[in-house]
């Protein structure tokens, strides 16, 4: 009859772990509106911070081509690529939990949007416009 405890113990452990991890993931969205690091040299315009990694297949096969296509439509769009293995501290400050992660920063370096997983060029363009990028309405797919 002691075996009846097995599912209870397991569910309690997993629930606790899930709640902790979910709380951590949720906290990334709290960064929206805050400045994590001083703004770079994007000329006061919104920019994209792109977190990638060697093992992230979708980063190389989809996210990077989408970012390249987006940048090709407007040379004012600044994209900073960060390999999390090269700069784990920065990834930690932006609370990156999954790859790819793209973060749209406004001209003042404030976090305007966070995308966990693949983000299309159109999604990123809309976020750039919302962050203050002028005349950036051309769709890129």
Partner 1 sequence: MAIVPFDRSVLKVNQAILMVVIVLGYLVGFAYHAAAYVIPALAVMMLAAVASPALNLPRILYVRILRPSGVVRPRVVQEDPAPHRFAQLLGGIFLTVATIFVATGLLLVAWVLAWTVVALAFLNFAFNICIGCILYAQLVRMGVLPLSRAPAR
CA dist 57 and 63 (Å) reads 9
What stretches of the chain show up as alpha helix (H) in DSSP?
5-29, 57-58, 64-73, 88-93, 121-130
Residue 138 beta carbon to partner 1: minimum distance, rounded to whole angstroms = 22
Query: Is the CB of residue 29 less than 8 Å from the CB of residue 59?
Result: no
Would you say 6 or 135 has its CB closer to partner 1? 6
Choose among 94, 85, 96: nearest CA to 32: 94
Would you say 97 or 130 has its CB closer to partner 1? 97
Would you say 45 or 51 has its CB closer to partner 1? 51
Would you say 35 or 55 has its CB closer to partner 1? 55
What Å distances lie between residue 42 and 1, 39, 50, 74, 91, CA to CA?
Answer: 66, 8, 14, 13, 20
Residues that bind partner 1 (CB under 8 A): 2-3, 5-7, 9-11, 13-15, 17-18, 21-22, 25, 53-62, 65, 84-85, 88, 91-92, 96-100, 117-118
């Amino acid at each position: 009859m002691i075996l009846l405890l097995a599912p209870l113990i397991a569910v309690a452990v997993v629930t606790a772990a899930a709640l902790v991890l979910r709380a951590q993931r949720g906290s990334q969205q709290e960064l929206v509106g805050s400045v994590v690091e001083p703004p770079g040299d994007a000329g006061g315009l919104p920019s994209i911070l792109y977190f990638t990694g060697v093992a992230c297949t979708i980063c190389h096969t989809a996210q990077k081509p989408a970012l390249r296509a987006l940048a090709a439509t407007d040379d004012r769009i600044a994209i900073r690529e960060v390999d999390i293995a090269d700069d784990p501290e920065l990834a930690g400050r932006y609370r990156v939990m999954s790859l790819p992660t793209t973060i749209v920063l406004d001209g003042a370096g404030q976090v305007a949007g966070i995308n966990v997983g693949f983000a299309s060029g159109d999604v990123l363009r809309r976020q750039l416009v919302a962050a203050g990028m002028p005349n950036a309405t051309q769709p890129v797919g």
